[in-house]
Amino acid sequence: DTEVTQTPKHLVMGMTNKKSLKCEQHMGHRAMYWYKQKAKKPPELMFVYSYEKLSINESVPSRFSPECPNSSLLNLHLHALQPEDSALYLCASSPQRVSNTGELFFGEGSRLTVL
Amino acid sequence: QQQVKQSPQSLIVQKGGISIINCAYENTAFDYFPWYQQFPGKGPALLIAIRPDVSEKKEGRFTISFNKSAKQFSLHIMDSQPGDSATYFCAATNAYSGAGSYQLTFGKGTKLSVIP
């Protein structure tokens, strides 16, 4: 079982809806990540939080809004999404910089469908 | 220069055979090279990783071979099993580029199918 827990596993939303994806880890990791993965593609980095501060925003549209309430939780708020935003959204964590070990701990993802 | 090129895109291997996946990179600042395994409906998971100061690392049936001068590395799966059927991503990261040290550059992935 993964130690990074994501909810919900599946989400269907309309283009005018507001929804949130949630991620939780209790490994004491201080870096948390949101990735987007389209079918048959590698994960694509969206955001990185380091010590609860936004460290990297990979030019993600403002309709995606990340939040890190504390060191264990990471949210991704969704508003006015487009059908092309349909994808698997993966949360990940690492003890500190991923370059130290190359290891990210991924959750199982939230499968998002935008109608 | 940030790309990691991975081949083949898909691979079919008989049970008991050797699976080989290759990756190449351009950025000489990369200094850590992990491989991730992803099963359908799951997130990727670290399989094995190598630093460029060694030429080979073996963990069970999985071996990474690293050629620093050619800027290439490969994953070998010995005695491939149907349970190894998954998508494999090579990746690279750089410890010394500030914010970049939080980033993994992934290859495009190889879908491996091991047939009985």
Q: Please state whether beta strands A87-94 and B33-38 pair in parallel, antiparallel, or not at all (unpaired).
A: unpaired
What residues in A contact B93, CB-CB < 8 Å?
98-99, 102
Say if the Cβ atoms of B46 and A43 lie within 8 Å: no
- Dihedral sign of CA atoms B37, B106, A64, A30 in order: positive
One-letter amino acid for residue A50 of the chain: S
Rounded Cα gap, residues B92 and B103, in angstroms: 9
Rounded Cα gap, residues B101 and B92, in angstroms: 10
Rounded Cα gap, residues B3 and B27, in angstroms: 8
Say if the Cβ atoms of A103 and B104 lie within 8 Å: no
DSSP H helices in A31-93: none
Rounded Cα gap, residues B95 and A70, in angstroms: 26
Nearest to A53 by CA among A64, A65, A68, A66: A68
Q: Chain A: residue nearest B30 by CA?
A: A99
Tens digits of pLDDT across chain A (115 residues): 569 999 999 999 998 889 999 999 999 999 999 999 999 999 999 999 988 999 888 889 999 999 999 989 999 999 999 999 999 999 999 987 766 667 889 999 999 999 9
Say if the Cβ atoms of B102 and A55 lie within 8 Å: yes
The whole-number mean pLDDT for each consecutive block of 10 residues of chain B, a chain of 116 residues, reads 89 98 93 93 93 93 96 98 98 73 89 97
Interface contact B32, partner A, CB < 8 A: yes
- Position B31 scores a pLDDT of 86
CA B56, chain centre distance (Å): 13
Q: What angle do CA A7, A94, B48 make, to 5 degrees?
A: 105
One-letter amino acid for residue B22 of the chain: N
CA B61, chain centre distance (Å): 14
Per the CB < 8 A criterion, the answer to whether B36 and B88 are in contact is: yes
pLDDT in tens, A2-20: 699 999 999 999 988 899 9
Distances (CA, A) of B106 to A52, A87, B5, B44, B76: 25, 17, 9, 11, 18
Q: Chain A: residue nearest B93 by CA?
A: A99
Q: How many CB pairs under 8 A join A and B?
A: 75
Which DSSP helix (H) or strand (E) runs through B105?
Answer: strand B105-106
